[in-house]
Structure 1
Amino acid sequence: MSKKILAILSEYGYWGIELVGPLTKLEEAGYTVEFMTPKGKKAEALPPSYDTTYVDPPLGTCVTTPLAAEMVKAFEATNRLEERKNMSEVIPERPYFSSSDFLRKFEKYFSDLKIAQEDLTTEYAALLLVGGSGPIIDIVNNQRVHDIILAFHKKDMPIGAICYGVAPLVFARDFNERRSIIKGKHVTGHCIEYDYHDGTGFLNTDLNIGPPPYVLEYLLSDAVGPEGQYHGNFGKETSVIVDYPFITARSLQCSFEFGDQFVNVLDNGLKRYGW
């Protein structure tokens, strides 16, 4: 089995420890983590994620620990993210239905996609979707991200997602079947109690959209359906759920546990955890 993991990061800011936490655990287990961004631009950690004085409004406390800040700053200083893949050069774009010669373009899209998906799932053992506010802009409703998720899902390979990195799982659907891949599954993700009233911001833009544009808890609850279950675990310090092939984590406090269970899935065949 490949010892490489593909991590997808937003170009509008990722939450530092939500990458560095699982990254550390995976590397300690002998895995190599490689990075990909939507347009090939360098991903950067959101400043609050390495600021120990930052008070998270919903929680009313400092959420960036000295250890997390130190780890994120050390990782950013390595320039590891200077080496990354450009998703737009790896995965084809689905054509508009109004485009000329649509059917031929549509056929080519599926043909090219099949090759790209096979290449990714041959090179990598698992997929990691990193959270933070940035994914709201360029990851969640990104057709190429959906096609990468589907590649791993079709081969029953591990898919790990944390915080707002969980949101793309709702929308990654086979284009013809259009059914949720997490239907009937147990998942966790950012619960409504953690949502901002104001201040959802992003790197590389002055945009402050106030509250998040969607309530992730509601999206996940609807997508899993009555046969599945969304677990918010509000009041509990962490929330990590494994319902293979998905490893989902609620937020930054779960980063290390998320990494531990990601490794358990890869190395020990863990299929269920946290429910």
Structure 2
Amino acid sequence: MTTKRILAVMSEFGYWGVELVGPLRKLEAAGYSVDFVTPKGTRAPCLPPSRDTTYVDPPLGTCVTTAEDKALVDAFEATDALEATLNLSSMFPERPYYSHPNFLRELEAYYEARKAAQEKALETYDAVLLVGGSGPIVDMVNNQRVHDLVLGFHAGGRAIGAICYGVATLVFARDFNERRSIIAGKHVTGHCIEYDYHDGTGFMGTDFNMGPPPYCLEHILSDAVGPTGQYHGNFGKRTSVIVDYPFITARSLQCSHEFGDRFVDVLTKGVTRSGW
């Protein structure tokens, strides 16, 4: 059964405009509607550089926001689409601490509530989209509720799309008992080391400048896929989009439109492998 609905997970600390709008427009053109969810239900803010055609990306040494992409993002931001943002914390339960006085019963209740939440999500949506930007580093990548959402789609054999730092979520999404990443043995792409900032990693709603990213995404992806999988950086190529079902992964903002095309191919044409 298909619902023709996609759930886009976004950060409350900033998303990169075209990394949402690029795939969004391709999905909508294919007849899919998209709902938006953030960890606590606050509308996701758009990172200013992703709407600035004069912004020069330090590692790439060029302006990365095109006039066409800016226009698309500005048009989307002018709508009220994100006003209906859902609250993931009200959809999925929180796993209890081991120190909780009634831990065993609480853990049993958590698993039952998680199963119900996953089943409801699978009944409602055909796929999940993990939107990129610097914000996901803060509240998506190591968010247990986001992991549980993704684990539900993975167990259900549903498509999981992720772009840029949204891909990092897949590294840490793992069964709490097995402790093994769900991308083990898979082919993926994501932000390569050549694209990493030396300084200036910033987030919406804070004055904190982290400097470089807190981790090298290429390294943790390479480790997570293990000896039977493969990380593909494709540095030197304009885009890098990899399909290894159920995952559709994209390296960075330049891949946004192609990422949308491959996402649609997976959903409508049954594509299970592409880009490697």
Give me the whole-angstrom Cα distance separating, in 2, the residues matched to 1:237 and 1:79: 33
* Structure-2 residue corresponding to 1:204: 205
* Structure-2 residue corresponding to 1:20: 21
Give me the whole-angstrom Cα distance separating, in 1, the residues matched to 2:129 and 2:200: 26
Task: Indicate the SS of the match to 2:249.
Answer: strand
What displacement does 1:178 show?
A: 1.1
What displacement does 1:177 show?
A: 1.1
Spell out, residue by residue over 1:232-268, the C-alpha distance to the aligned partner (whole angstroms, 9 max, x if none).
0000000000000000000000000000000000000
* Structure-1 residue corresponding to 2:237: 236
* Structure-2 residue corresponding to 1:124: 125
Q: TM-score, normalised by structure 2?
A: 0.99
Give me the whole-angstrom Cα distance separating, in 2, the residues matched to 1:203 and 1:121: 31
Give me the whole-angstrom Cα distance separating, in 2, the residues matched to 1:98 and 1:180: 25
Q: TM-score, normalised by structure 1?
A: 1.00
Spell out, residue by residue over 1:132-163, the C-alpha distance to the aligned partner (whole angstroms, 9 max, x if none).
00000000000000000000000110000000
Deviating runs (4+, > 2 A) in structure 1? none
2:221 maps to a residue whose letter is L
Give me the whole-angstrom Cα distance separating, in 2, the residues matched to 1:172 and 1:187: 14
Corresponding pairs, count: 275
* Structure-2 residue corresponding to 1:167: 168
Structure 2 stretches lacking a partner, 5+ long: none
* CA root-mean-square deviation: 0.4
5 Å-filtered alignment, 1:4-15, equals 4-15=5-16
What displacement does 1:44 show?
A: 1.2
1:119 maps to a residue whose letter is K
* Structure-2 residue corresponding to 1:176: 177
5 Å-filtered alignment, 1:236-255, equals 236-255=237-256
What displacement does 1:84 show?
A: 1.2
What displacement does 1:79 show?
A: 1.8
Structure 1 stretches lacking a partner, 5+ long: none
Give me the whole-angstrom Cα distance separating, in 1, the residues matched to 2:86 and 2:110: 20
5 Å-filtered alignment, 1:251-270, equals 251-270=252-271
Give me the whole-angstrom Cα distance separating, in 1, the residues matched to 2:267 and 2:45: 27
What displacement does 1:32 show?
A: 0.1
* Structure-2 residue corresponding to 1:88: 89
Give me the whole-angstrom Cα distance separating, in 1, the residues matched to 2:227 and 2:109: 37
* Structure-2 residue corresponding to 1:52: 53
Give me the whole-angstrom Cα distance separating, in 1, the residues matched to 2:201 and 2:178: 33
* Structure-1 residue corresponding to 2:62: 61
Give me the whole-angstrom Cα distance separating, in 2, the residues matched to 1:180 and 1:10: 21
Give me the whole-angstrom Cα distance separating, in 2, the residues matched to 1:102 and 1:245: 34
